Amino acid sequence: MPEDESPKQVIMRYFLSLLSITRKIFGYRVFLFGIAAGLSNTALISIINETIKYGIDKKAPSLLLFFGYITALLLYFLLQYFYQSLLIKSAQTLILQSRETLIEKIRKSNLRSYEKVGSTRLFVLLAHDTNTIGTIATLSSSVIIALIVISGSLIYLLSISIKGFLLTVGIISVSLLITFSMQKANIKRIKKLLELETVFLNFIRNMLTGIKEVKMDSKISEGIYNTHLKPYMNDIHEKKTSNNISQARFALLGQLIFFITMGFILFVFPMLQISITRNPAQFVIVLLYILSPIQMLIPLIPQFSHIKATMERMASIKDMLEEEPLSHTTENSYKQFETISFKDVIYTYEPIADKPDFRLGPVNFDIQAGDLIFILGENGSGKSTLIKVLTGLYTANKGSIQLDDDPISHRNIQLYRNLFGVIFTDNHLFEHLYGVDDISTAHIDQLIEKTGLTEKVNFQENRFNTIDLSEGQKKRIALINVLLRDKPIYIFDEWAANQDPDFRDYFYNVLIPELNNQQKTVIVITHDDRYLHIAKRLFKMEDGLLEEVAMAGIDE
């Protein structure tokens, strides 16, 4: 926002940006309807005012005025109805579109940029802020009608009294100037408030996710409440209260200026024998008529600031999400491969405070189709990071990954990803089996039996009847899910860690070799060195460096 703008320029900029947002969202039709509805409203006030003169002269009003009144009334309500319907439809479309583009952006964003933005912020944007943006419809509707009624009434006023007209324009300008001059600070305040609410919601989410720990230990419960929830709640409460009070002040200010003016017209000017108009009663009626759109307009300005702040915030969060092409189809995906090669691949996380940053690599290795690879390594040595880089979820900062002759870049990353069936350590289980066509019930039943879940689950209507299972059982459902997708490469990140000894044996001694015999490439990350003999190749991860270990000497 330019620092050296005059108040007039600020008003113009606000007005133009409101018009431009309204036009972009609703098209020109909305202005035509708005203008027509506003003009019929102005026609009403002129007719009422003309009719009052008849009342003063104790005469019956003319038939022309009566029919004019009926026509203007009908027109006003019909146009208002169409105008409101148009805006309601457009507002809902706007909410839908904002959600669609945001969801598309999230689906297209690379994982690291998503992690940096954080899921709470995106959740708030999708669930709450899109609705705030949708309120632009009611706002524009009211602003356009208010502006037209004010302009129409001013024109009418000009025909009654030039001095009165100038006085009223003066009052309106002063009210608007004061209101607009406060908006720059208001937008800043609203943005801070929105961010504060996101931090607060993050703490709420933390508390709800960790509800077992919170309930187990009253010190944790009190700690999270006293250190974070309560201070943030109080801070938001105070800031919101003062913000809303300042908005109420705007509304009162408009009224105050008007009533002061009326006081001058009704009392001060006559006492001082200053004449503004020959007919003060008519002037006061028009002034009262202008009062209601002004009362409506002034509090709308901070609301517009709220929408503007929300839109700017949404745009800046969207900018933080780095896009990569999203493939809606797996048709062009790589179906098979011979070699995946890592050449001097380095990946670093952004430094956290004063801690030395973790660096993966440089990693140089080749994966051949049909490999059965085990990767060992201490906690924090970089195994999961390697998997995220290998599967294209994280983009290497340096070096290259090549699939046969194709270097992997953002252009083909999604197609490359489709090669992998991965179960991460923090795997998420969806209730439905998304994206698996032509599911053979017999095949699923066979997998349910293989994973020892026959007594627990059955598969119907494209979903498992329940996922309320133990952690180990959930991992088995995840295994079924990933096997159904028939991928050329499978990665299991500490999959067997929470399996009972019998099933762990079965996983390593039967399932993994079976998969590998079907020409699948299998990569297993494990801390369990009892099954290393299953591997055809063994790697060790240490401080971000990957080293192949000779298989000789590894006994059953």
Ligand X SMILES: Nc1ncnc2c1ncn2[C@@H]1O[C@H](COP(=O)(O)OP(=O)(O)OP(=O)(O)O)[C@@H](O)[C@H]1O
CA nearest neighbour of 37 among 65, 7, 77: 77
**Residue 419 near residue 142 (C-beta atoms within 8 A):** no
We find the least distance from the C-beta atom of residue 388 to ligand X, in angstroms, to be 8
Nearer to ligand X, 63 or 352 (CB): 352
| Residues 113-152 within binding reach of ligand X (CB under 6 A) | 115
We find the least distance from the C-beta atom of residue 471 to ligand X, in angstroms, to be 16
- Radius of gyration of the CA atoms of the chain, in A: 34
Nearer to ligand X, 358 or 503 (CB): 358
We find the least distance from the C-beta atom of residue 441 to ligand X, in angstroms, to be 36
Structure tokens at 426: 């923090």
Nearer to ligand X, 1 or 352 (CB): 352
CA nearest neighbour of 291 among 155, 149, 400: 149
Nearer to ligand X, 38 or 544 (CB): 544
Count CB-CB contacts under 10 A for residue 205: 14
We find the least distance from the C-beta atom of residue 525 to ligand X, in angstroms, to be 7
Q: Which of 186, 381, 451, 516 binds ligand X (CB under 6 A)?
A: 381
CA nearest neighbour of 174 among 264, 258, 118: 258
We find the least distance from the C-beta atom of residue 482 to ligand X, in angstroms, to be 19
Q: Which of 113, 295, 368, 384 binds ligand X (CB under 6 A)?
A: 384
Instruction: Work out whether 382 is an interface residue with ligand X (CB under 6 A).
Output: yes
What is the pattern of x (binds ligand X, CB under 6 A) and - over residues 202-221?
Answer: --------------------
CA nearest neighbour of 298 among 194, 131, 181, 190: 181
Q: In sequence order, which residues have a C-beta less than 8 Å from that of residue 409 and are 6 or more positions away?
A: none
We find the least distance from the C-beta atom of residue 381 to ligand X, in angstroms, to be 4
SS3 471: helix
Nearer to ligand X, 40 or 395 (CB): 395
| Residues 15-44 within binding reach of ligand X (CB under 6 A) | none
Alpha carbons 309 and 314: distance in angstroms, whole number: 9
Alpha carbons 434 and 339: distance in angstroms, whole number: 29
CA nearest neighbour of 130 among 307, 261, 351: 307
We find the least distance from the C-beta atom of residue 544 to ligand X, in angstroms, to be 7
We find the least distance from the C-beta atom of residue 394 to ligand X, in angstroms, to be 10
We find the least distance from the C-beta atom of residue 505 to ligand X, in angstroms, to be 22
Structure tokens at 546: 């990957």
Structure tokens at 171: 């009052």
Alpha carbons 253 and 261: distance in angstroms, whole number: 12
We find the least distance from the C-beta atom of residue 491 to ligand X, in angstroms, to be 12
We find the least distance from the C-beta atom of residue 507 to ligand X, in angstroms, to be 18
We find the least distance from the C-beta atom of residue 422 to ligand X, in angstroms, to be 13
φ, ψ of residue 4 in degrees (nearest 5) = -100, 30
Q: Which of 354, 379, 553, 556 binds ligand X (CB under 6 A)?
A: 379
Count residues near ligand X (CB under 6 A).
13
Structure tokens at 2: 């330019």
Structure tokens at 462: 């494209």
Nearer to ligand X, 93 or 384 (CB): 384
Q: Which of 31, 337, 349, 503 binds ligand X (CB under 6 A)?
A: 349
Nearer to ligand X, 112 or 239 (CB): 112
DSSP category for residue 27: -
Nearer to ligand X, 98 or 381 (CB): 381
Q: Which stretch binds ligand X (CB under 6 A): 94-102, 375-383, 435-443, 479-487?
A: 375-383
Structure tokens at 510: 């039967």
Q: Which stretch binds ligand X (CB under 6 A): 42-50, 118-126, 376-384, 426-434?
A: 376-384
Nearer to ligand X, 149 or 393 (CB): 393
| Residues 407-436 within binding reach of ligand X (CB under 6 A) | 425
Nearer to ligand X, 293 or 382 (CB): 382
We find the least distance from the C-beta atom of residue 352 to ligand X, in angstroms, to be 6
Q: Would strands 489-493 and 372-377 be described as parallel, antiparallel, or unpaired? A: unpaired
Count CB-CB contacts under 10 A for residue 406: 14
62: left (phi over 0), alpha (psi -120 to 50) or beta: beta
- Stretch (H or E) spanning 268: none
Q: Which of 168, 247, 282, 385 binds ligand X (CB under 6 A)?
A: 385
| Residues 56-115 within binding reach of ligand X (CB under 6 A) | 115
Q: Which of 55, 263, 380, 513 binds ligand X (CB under 6 A)?
A: 380
SS3 109: strand
Q: Which stretch binds ligand X (CB under 6 A): 236-244, 374-382, 443-451, 474-482?
A: 374-382
φ, ψ of residue 490 in degrees (nearest 5) = -115, 135
Instruction: Work out whether 377 is an interface residue with ligand X (CB under 6 A).
Output: yes
- Residue 390 corresponds to which amino acid? L
CA nearest neighbour of 349 among 81, 14, 111, 27: 111
Nearer to ligand X, 99 or 112 (CB): 112
Instruction: Work out whether 358 is an interface residue with ligand X (CB under 6 A).
Output: yes
Q: Which stretch binds ligand X (CB under 6 A): 117-125, 173-181, 372-380, 496-504?
A: 372-380
Instruction: Work out whether 6 is an interface residue with ligand X (CB under 6 A).
Output: no
Instruction: Work out whether 308 is an interface residue with ligand X (CB under 6 A).
Output: no
Annotate 7-66 with DSSP letters as a single string. Answer: HHHHHHHHHHHHHHHHHHHH-THHHHHHHHHHHHHHHHHHHHHHHHHHHHTT-PPPHHHH
φ, ψ of residue 416 in degrees (nearest 5) = -65, -45
Question: Please, what is the end-to-end C-alpha distance for the chain in angstroms?
Answer: 70
Footprint of ligand X (CB under 6 A): 115, 349, 352, 358, 377, 379-385, 425
